[in-house]
Amino acid sequence: MIYATFHKGRALLTGERISPALVFNCGQAFRFDPFADGYLGVACGRVLFTRETNAGLELSPVTPGEYATVWAHYFDAALDYPVLEAEFARDPLLASALPCCRGMRLLNQPLFETLISFIISANNNVSRIKGIINKLCLLAGRPLSFCGLTLYDFPSPAALASLSEEQLTACGCGYRAKYIQKTARMVADGFPLESLVQMDYAAAREVLMKFPGVGSKVADCVLLFACGKKDAFPEDVWIHRVLCTQYGFCAKNHAQLREFVLRRFGAYGGIAQQYLFHCARTHKSVVK
DNA sequence: ACCCAGGGTGACG
DNA sequence: CGTCACCATGGG
């Protein structure tokens, strides 16, 4: 259980450990970077500075109202991670991944931003993904000020849709420029993205995969990181190697993967995936 | 020069 | 349903 207290424009979260370094560097979010003794970034249209202290996780600038309406959900405060991890620990292989994931947490991120970000992620690496997104924000995002600095919000669907393919290519989008433009236009033209949250996993996935540049893996990332579908299990090259080498299961298609994952990890398989993914990526030799 | 990165698309069997 | 060439881009 997470408890929030407030003092002088800051929120202090206690009860469950949340590590900004882990949360913002595990490949789920691309807009937070080290700043001073914490991490600074933009999410949900606001600048946020986070800092891990002995007392807990500090968030600023945050009012009690903003925490209640925005950040509690963003940091997935309703889900008890220690309880979940205790459940995970019953799986010996997953248990061995827990130590390198202390303070891990899945964020509930804005839908449009997540959709575009993971279209960009296709056949790409994290540092380049961050660079591309940063340029898009600089070009078409609303400016936000913080301590004399100017940061930029992620572009609205309309703002992103208004960019030319040349502008998108100039940001480093490469062959994904067309996908981004088409997807942004579909959303700007009124596609009800938020309706995905109410749909079940299979239905929402089917809808998402109709967007250009969204295939099996990107759809699962959006479902897990922005639609609250904790059973979505994105399978990239890393997690494929983990399942294959450690679990002796090499999925041949999505149906088979889903069956295995549900049986092995249950309704929170997507979170298990994130733990295994992060552990594999930080100890490359284990699986490579 | 080659390989890889949180893959998707389209063509073809 | 499965495979496979191709797709920009930058860093190792």
pLDDT tens figures, A230-252: 999 999 988 998 999 999 999 99
Nearest protein residue to B9's C1' (by CA)?
A213
For A8, A24, A134, A191, A228, the CA distances from A84, given in Å and listed in that order, are: 33, 20, 34, 34, 15
Which pLDDT does position A44 carry in this prediction? 98
Predicted pLDDT of residue A190:
97
Region of A190 on the Ramachandran plot (φ > 0 left; ψ -120 to 50 alpha; else beta): left
**C-alpha distance from residue A151 to each of A40, A138, A162, A212 (Å):** 10, 8, 21, 29
Residue A177 confidence (pLDDT) above 60: yes
Instruction: Count CB-CB contacts under 10 A for residue A99.
Output: 8
Query: Integer distance in angstroms from CA A176 to C1' C11?
Result: 19
Is pLDDT above 70 for A62?
Answer: yes
Per-residue model confidence (pLDDT) at position A286: 53
Taking only the tens place, the pLDDT of each residue in A255-267 is 999 999 999 999 9
Find the catalytic residue in A130, A135, A182, A217: A217
- Contact positions of strand B to protein Cβ (< 7 A): 4-9
**Which residues does strand B reach (CB under 7 angstroms)?**
A 26-28, 121-126, 128, 175, 179, 209, 211-219, 221, 234-239, 273-274, 277, 281
Cβ neighbours for A115, distance < 8 A, ≥ 6 positions apart:
A183, A187, A193, A208, A211, A214, A222, A226
Q: Verify if strand C has an atom below 7 Å from the CB of A212.
A: no
- Asked if A172 CB < 7 A from strand C, the reply is yes
Q: Which of residues 75-104 of A touch strand C (CB under 7 A)?
A: none
Q: pLDDT over 90 for what percent of chain A? A: 95
DSSP letters for A124-190 = --HHHHHHHHHHHHHHHSPEEEETTEEEEPPPPHHHHHTS-HHHHHHTT-GGGHHHHHHHHHHHHTT
pLDDT tens digit string along A68-122? 999 999 999 999 999 999 999 999 999 999 999 999 999 999 999 999 999 999 9
A116 CA to B2 C1' in angstroms comes to 30
pLDDT score at A83: 98
Average the pLDDT over A128-141 and give the result. 98
Chain A, 246-275: which CBs lie within 7 Å of strand C? 252-253
Contact A257, A244 (CB under 8 A): no
Helix axes A81-88, A269-282, angle to 10 degrees: 80
| Strand C, nucleotides covered by protein (CB < 7 Å) | 1-3, 7-11
> Quick one: which of A284, A221, A277, A287 has its CA closest to A94?
A277
Q: How far apart are CA A288 and CA A141, in angstroms?
A: 39
A119/B4 CA-to-C1' distance in Å: 18
Model confidence band, residue A287 (pLDDT cutoffs 50, 70, 90): low
Confidence label for A173 from pLDDT (cuts 50, 70 and 90): very high
Q: What would the two tokens of residue A78 be?
A: 């309703």
Q: What is the pLDDT of residue A284?
A: 62
CA of A28, C1' of B2: distance in angstroms: 29
Identify whether A230 is a catalytic site residue.
Answer: no
Find tokens 């309406």 and name the residue: A69
